[in-house]
Amino acid sequence: MRIAIISDVHGNLTALEAVLADIDPETVDALICLGDLAFKGPQPAECIRRIRELGIPCLHGNTDVALVMAAGRKPRRPLPAGFSLPDPLPPSLAWPLAQLSDADVEYLAGLPFSHRLEADGQTVLFVHASPQDAMTGIAPTMGPDEIRPLLREEQADWIIAGHVHQAYAFRFEGRWLANPGAVGFSLDGDGRAAYAVLDTARSRFELRRVAYDVDAAVAAARQRSFYADPDRYGEALRAGTWPADL
């Protein structure tokens, strides 16, 4: 089975469309999204609408849950104990929330935490950040003692997560840990959109990058009176980094 995996769209419809165009429906059997659809991008509602109209199974990411909470709704699974929203909401959260309809928020509130499938004798677990929760991610630079608690004794052959905006695949204590990277903005110094294809028959995880029209994303930010400076947004997209104050 060949499964295309996307994650961390973050309101960047231009990047999402480029990735969807790059995925050949004749060469994949399924497509799944690991969440974070709307936060910190100029077209949050449009990204949600695109995922919904294509019927793509989607998990909730930490920012999806934060938006649901900010709207006064209860998510299916809360973020870790002790998490609370800032008061007042920062522009990075208040702006996308204002763009979403009640139906958009309801959709986000109903997204599941995880998805599991069996294919070619292998078990694949999809989550946003880690089996522990939607906010605590697995990074390839972490040591075994940091990774092990996040897996919660999960025995799947593949554990595939997003959240950290870095693409990777490596073996860890008898299983594969993998990440497709981010569609909406990278944090690995490569400004292209990222996704991956898992081939369970060959136990192969193919990391892919797609160039897209960043100027179009910047133009959308300018037209929508985006909460952040559109030019700085474009610079971050091209650099594959994200300033702390953006």
pLDDT reported for residue 224: 94
Distance, CA of 223 to CA of 174 (rounded, Å): 49
Mean pLDDT of 79-100: 94
Q: Is the pLDDT of residue 59 over 90?
A: yes
Q: Is the pLDDT of residue 25 over 90?
A: no
pLDDT reported for residue 19: 98
pLDDT reported for residue 82: 84
CA torsion 198→202→207→211, rounded to 10°?
-80
Q: Is the pLDDT of residue 153 over 90?
A: no
Beta bridge partners of 58: 33
pLDDT reported for residue 103: 97
Q: Is the pLDDT of residue 221 over 90?
A: yes
Mean pLDDT of 17-45: 96
pLDDT reported for residue 81: 83
Mean pLDDT of 128-133: 97
What percent of the chain is predicted at pLDDT more than 70?
Answer: 100
Place 4 in a pLDDT band, splitting at 50, 70 and 90.
Answer: very high
What pLDDT, in 10s, does the model give residues 93-122? Answer: 999 999 999 999 999 999 999 999 999 999
Domains detected in the chain? 2-114+180-239 (3.60.21.10)
